Amino acid sequence: MSTTMTIPAEIVGHLRCGLHSDIGPVAFEIDGVSTKADRETGPGLYDESLGRLDAIRQLLDIVGWTIAEPPVSVDVDLDRHGSAIVSALNGLLTIARDHMDVDPTFAGAEQQRTRASRTAREIEAFLTSNDLPIAEPD
């Protein structure tokens, strides 16, 4: 039996952004395997990275690869997609926290801090309310 979770519309955009951000590191891992001398010993060397890439792509298929207007909530199978959800949201949370620590002399610093603070609060509230793990601040 699976657990269905509703991702609220205001979190779907954060999730989508985090999922897109997660593609790069996984692609880098796949590239790393492709340059190994033993890469032709079998497909098993790619399994973990390709599995994570497939999970990201499947979740993007559900939440949408592009921004929906108006934003809409989506239902997802937490048992199947929970790991990708937690990874994507915690990755974006880490970025938001970094963006909150901006030099105030930079043009647009206050807007960046405000936007990043709102993003961090929304992600933390969602993860907390759904008993999902939250990345510790650096």
137 within some domain: no
136 within some domain: no
47 within some domain: yes
- Kindly give the interhelix angle for 78-100 and 47-63, rounded to the nearest 10 degrees: 90
pLDDT of residue 104: 86
pLDDT of residue 38: 77
18 within some domain: yes
Alpha-carbon distance of 46 to 43, in angstroms, equals 6
**DSSP of 78-137:** HHHHHHHHHHHHHHHHHHHHHHHS--TTSTTHHHHHHHHHHHHHHHHHHHHHTT---PPP
Please say whether the beta carbons of 46 and 31 come within 8 A: no
pLDDT of residue 1: 59
138 within some domain: no
Alpha-carbon distance of 29 to 39, in angstroms, equals 13
Alpha-carbon distance of 75 to 12, in angstroms, equals 10
Which residues are CB-contacts of 121 (< 8 A; sequence separation ≥ 6)?
none
Tens digit of pLDDT at every position of the chain (138 positions): 579 999 999 999 999 999 999 999 999 998 888 887 777 777 788 888 999 999 999 999 999 999 888 989 999 999 999 999 999 999 999 999 999 998 888 898 999 999 999 999 999 999 999 999 998 887
pLDDT of residue 111: 93
Q: Domain residues for 103?
A: 4-129
pLDDT of residue 28: 93
135 within some domain: no
89 within some domain: yes
Count: domains in the chain: 1
Element (H, E) at 58: helix 47-63
43 within some domain: yes
